[in-house]
Chains A and B, each alone.
Chain A
Amino acid sequence: MTAAAAVVLGGVFWPLMIVAVAVLLPAAAAGVLPTLLRYSILFSLPLAVSALVVNLFFYPGGQTVLFQLGPITATAEGFAFAVEILARIAALSGAITLFYLTTKPSELVLDLERRGVPPRLAFVVNASVQTVPAMAERAQTIVDAQRARGLDTQGGLFNRLRGIVPIVGPVMLGSIAEVEERSMVLEARAFTRPGRRSLLWSPPDDGVQRLARWGLAAGLLVVIGARAVGAL
């Protein structure tokens, strides 16, 4: 919702306000501010850089010249527009990163399941997320095993391209073979039983969280409304 609001709002000031209130403050409260800044900047850097460059130099209707770089010109209007875009990117990437950093997959999934999402779907979401670090570790072992058989991963580009199949291959094949075994294990644990599963516990959902959720939703509606009537 933060991201949506940022996009809807025009100008620079409001998106930045949103970033401050809905992203940075909660991040600081959760103690993940430095990590958040690091990740979201890294995450959005390519997009931000290209947005800046494109708009700075190629903004249609740009008149006020800032400086010249050979045949291309940087304009003030372009710069202003670029800054607006950057603000939105900041809000978007900040919001996404905050979500990723503060949500424990298992809690999210458990909550979803409690609210009626089918357990199998919830499980798939959860297990997929949890599998990522395991897959990364697996991929590393595979790279090592193939390097031990003489696969040259340090040579030129062509060499590295040749290395794709011997690395991606076992990652995929192994994962598929593993999936077969895992699905048998799940069935043996009655996962396919129709009807609801019992749940051990529900993630805490206190007043503050509920307030924040409703507040965000309401805020978004207000913003859309205000934009529609041209007030913002």
Chain B
Amino acid sequence: MLTLESVAYRYAGASRTSLRDIDLSVADAEVVGVVGASESGKTTLALVASGLAPRSIGGQLDGRLLIDGEDMSGRPMHELAARVGICFQNPFTQLSQVADTVFEEVAFGALNLGVDRLDVVRRTSEALDGLGIGDLAARDPRRLSGGQVQLVALAGLLAMRPRHLVLDEPTAQLDPEGKQLVGDALAGLAAAGTGLLITEHDTDLLARLCSRVVALDSGGITLSGTPAAVLADPRLDELGVEPPARIRLQRAVDAAGLKIELPA
């Protein structure tokens, strides 16, 4: 269980807070989606949930980050790294640049944790197979497509065996093929029991994966509930969020006065 308790956060040198009054938790095997306009605080939320804010980037954090009931304040980043993994939207900046093969790239994090060499090999193979990219193991990570690189990054996180994963707009910079790849992979992860916190613009993806969705506006949570409820909420439009395609289309049909129900 990953919990944010009364969290507020201000970036170093910033005049206003980027997050306020955040109470949010992600249980094991739960998938929580976060929507909101650009600059509503989604990325900041991801950084705080993973511990990078304030440990890596400074800034002021009020409130607590709790993992399995333990307060993480004062714990160093490498301890958090073993418990919460974070995946960013740009696949390529997540490559370590020091790995010639996908296998070494995926092993990178686990090696940093000082895990025994044989264990690392086992974890890496499992991570690769779990995401269906075992056949990419010998390839040069820098020559892969965006979607593939994103999967490599995910595998690298999984090899560290975190109980929770935070993903900040993981498909935003991918083409439809990549989005499909990553979407399927995330669905698999959720089914396997990892707790996921996903921020996204792509509400279709969230509708498919999440058990719960929250909406952020100017750093605060304004809506929270099931995907069916939140993603169909008319207030999403003011928040700059596009509802899933089916809902959008249904609304257009309803607005034209037609009493037709579109297929799922």
Contact = CB atoms under 8 A, between A and B. Distances in A.
Contacts of B138: none
Interface in B74-102: 76-78, 81-82, 85-86, 88, 90, 93-94, 96-100
A127 interface: yes
| Size range of the chain A interface in the assembly | 20 to 34
B93 A193 contact: no
Given A184-B52, A185-B88, A190 B82 contact: yes
A178 B121 CA distance: 30
A222 to B, nearest CB: 38
B120 A200 contact: yes
Contacts of A183: 56
Interface string A188-203: 1111111111111000
Chain B interface, >50% SS class: helix
Contacts of A194: 78
Given A184-B56, A189-B160, A190-B81, A200 B90 contact: no
A182 B114 CA distance: 21
Contact of B160 (A190, A192, A200): A190
B108 interface: yes
Interface of A: 104, 106, 109, 123, 126-127, 130-131, 134, 178, 181-200
Given A185-B96, A189-B156, A192-B76, 14 more contacts: A126-B97, A134-B142, A184-B47, A187-B52, A187-B55, A187-B78, A188-B50, A188-B56, A189-B81, A189-B108, A189-B112, A193-B114, A198-B117, A200-B104
Pick the 4 closest A-B CB pairs, nearest first. A193-B78, A189-B109, A190-B81, A190-B112
11 contacts: A106-B100, A181-B90, A181-B93, A184-B52, A184-B57, A187-B52, A187-B77, A189-B96, A190-B82, A198-B114, A198-B117
